[in-house]
Amino acid sequence: MSDTADFFRSRLDQMIDLRHPLAVLASRMPWQEIEASVAHLFARRVRSGKAMVDVDLFGSTASLVGAGVSKAGRPRLPLRLMISLLYLKHAFNESDEGVVERWAETPTWQYLSGLEYFEHRWPCDPTAIGKFRRLLGEEGVEELLAQTINMAVTLKLIAKKDLAQVIVDSTVQQKAVAHPTDSKLLETARAKLVEAAKQAGLELKQTYAKESQGLRYKAGRYAHARQFKRMRRVLKRQRTIVGRLQREVTRKLSAIGQAVSEALSTTLAKARQIWEQTAGRKTKNGKAKLYSWHAPEVQCINKGKSRQPYEFGAKVGIATTLKHNLIVGAKAFSGNPFDGHTLNPQLEQATILMQDSGVKPVTAYVDLGYRGVDADNPGVSIKHRGKRKQLNAEELQLLKRRQAIEPVIGHLKQDHRMDRCHLKGEQGDRLHAVLCAAGFNFRWLLRMIAKKGVAFLWPLYLRLRGVTGMFQKWRVFAARVMQLVNRPSKSPALVH
């Protein structure tokens, strides 16, 4: 007969193998500490942005997630559940919809989330994950990354001294946008101008919808056939159409209200920028180009790859340990800064994430893109190939480990969703980069726990069951019995 409290359901710890790496990690993660560190981010707020105070029989208390039923609506979901969903999403390369579907079918995932009984239903609506992610903010997701580093040190999977030597490199986190061509951008600007004018109640003489569709087809075909003179004539006509619509909308703005004018100003500014930048291959006065209508923060970054010369997104700095490939920092930078200028904020972030371990980066191994920034990073010894004559034999040997960060970046993109960022704005870029690193470290912890084998998991399993002392006595007794059984007899005649 089952010893479960629910007669009709079995407990999750009776359904799964408690020696599974996810089960071990679920029992060792400091969930209460994680929840306490991010709870202040979920204080109920009024529209002005100030924290609300709930008054009950025992006095005034701040209402936080998990601190009771909210008066604003349904009870909030447990913090541990939502945090575990974020870890699992990026650890196993799932979307918001995919992670809730897989969670409903995987008992070990539900055990990690703190459930006692198996539930064959979605834990939440997929949109709740996005809302929770925005409420966490950059501070909250960095706390999730810091806890993975703390767990690696607590489980003795990495020594504290190994955190002092790091490898720093940069990569491009591409945005989920279409490849920006002048023809596509001009057609988008035309469509947005027509849409904005319609919403404002403006009647345009002509929308050029049918002609623009044919022009877009022609531009693509001429570019494919390398007939660039014809393609440029098509682009010139598209620019003419956008210019006409823009001037017509501007003329009719005086006849409508000021509120509608302010709503149209953003659309007109973007259309004007696209119209100007498509006049030539280079922009005037070094003004940045607009590569996506809905994501104006996207930058064109050249990393020197022959296969893909230009990538459109945000530059991301990655810092890993020298020997164990554990990520200790991930930071997205707006614009397209020089690699050397990103080293100081990257090391500063790594220092903050490792502050619970009492260690900070002392040596940084980098490539030649980080030359000439030693004065900006006092207290950190920067090693690269340009200083070969200044390095001793041991440092030269360690410098060969710098390339170890390249497969880490590859795994971040292929296995942890850094290949394309679907989150909105510059804040979305920053959140996505840190969460991808947290997912990588989560899988790293699972691999290292499995690598340690049963010898590492068996004492933990026994401590959970509270029978460590009994096992020791049984082992001594079994060894004594085996000695008596295997001892040869002194008188063979007695055996007969």
DSSP string, 195-259: HHHHHHTPPPS---HHHHHHHHHHHHHHHHTT-HHHHHHHHHHHHHHHHHHHHHHHHHGGGS-HH
User: Does residue 31 belong to any structural domain of this protein?
Assistant: yes
Do 322 and 389 have their domain in common? Answer: yes
Per DSSP, 155 falls in state T
Structural tokens at position 36 = 């306490």
CA distance 435 to 417: 9
pLDDT score of 254 = 72
Q: What's the pLDDT score for residue 305?
A: 81
Centre a 10 Å sphere on the Cβ of residue 268 and count the other Cβ atoms it contains.
19
**First-to-last C-alpha distance (Å) of the chain:** 49
Whether residue 266 sits in one domain with residue 356: no
Print pLDDT tens along the chain (496 aa).
Answer: 445 567 677 889 889 999 899 999 999 999 999 999 998 888 765 555 555 554 443 444 444 444 444 455 677 889 999 999 999 999 999 999 999 999 999 999 999 999 999 999 999 999 999 999 999 999 999 999 999 999 999 999 999 999 999 999 999 999 999 999 999 999 999 999 999 999 888 899 999 999 999 999 999 999 999 999 999 999 999 999 999 999 999 888 876 666 567 778 889 999 999 999 998 777 666 678 999 999 999 999 988 888 888 999 999 999 999 999 999 999 999 989 999 999 999 999 999 999 999 999 999 999 999 999 999 999 899 999 999 999 999 999 999 999 999 999 999 999 999 999 999 999 999 999 999 999 999 999 999 999 876 555 555 555 555 554 555 556 666 666 566 656 655 444 433 3
Both 119 and 202 in a single domain?
A: no
**192: containing domain:** 182-286
| Residue 16 and residue 36 share a domain | yes
Looking at the domain assignment, is residue 78 inside a domain?
yes
Domain match, 314 and 370 both = yes
Is the residue at 151 inside a domain?
A: no
Give all strands (DSSP E) within 9-105, no chain letters.
53-56, 59-62
User: Residue 479 falls within a domain, yes or no?
Assistant: yes
Whether residues 172 and 187 share a domain: the answer is: no
Final residue before a domain boundary, out of 286, 319, 340:
286
| 330 and 228 within one domain | no
Asked if 172 and 304 sit in the same domain, the reply is yes
Please check whether residue 235 lies inside any domain of the structure: yes
Asked if residues 315 and 301 have their Cβ atoms less than 8 Å apart, the reply is: yes
- Residue tagged 């580093």 (tokens): 149
**Residue 154 belongs to a domain:** no
Is position 495 within any domain?
Answer: no
Beta-carbon count within 10 A of 323 CB: 14
Q: Total structural domains in the chain?
A: 4
Q: Which of 261, 286, 311 is the last residue of a domain?
A: 286
- Whether 312 and 379 map to the same domain: the answer is yes
Do 26 and 104 belong to one domain?
yes
Q: Which of 286, 311, 343 is the last residue of a domain?
A: 286
CA distances from 53 to 38, 191, 278 (A): 18, 47, 54
CA-CA distance, 411 to 406, in Å (whole number)? 9
Q: How far apart are CA 474 and CA 402, in angstroms?
A: 50
Query: What's the pLDDT tens digit per position in 87-132?
Result: 999 999 999 999 999 999 999 999 999 999 999 999 999 999 999 9
Q: How far apart are CA 247 and CA 253, in angstroms?
A: 10
My answer on whether 371 and 430 are in the same domain is: yes
| Domain annotation covers residue 341 | yes
Q: What is the DSSP letter of 16?
A: S
Output phi, psi for 56, to 5 deg: -130, -165
Do 276 and 301 fall within a single domain?
no
- CATH number of residue 302's parent domain: 3.30.420
The pair phi, psi for residue 45, each rounded to 5°, is: -130, 145
pTM: 0.84
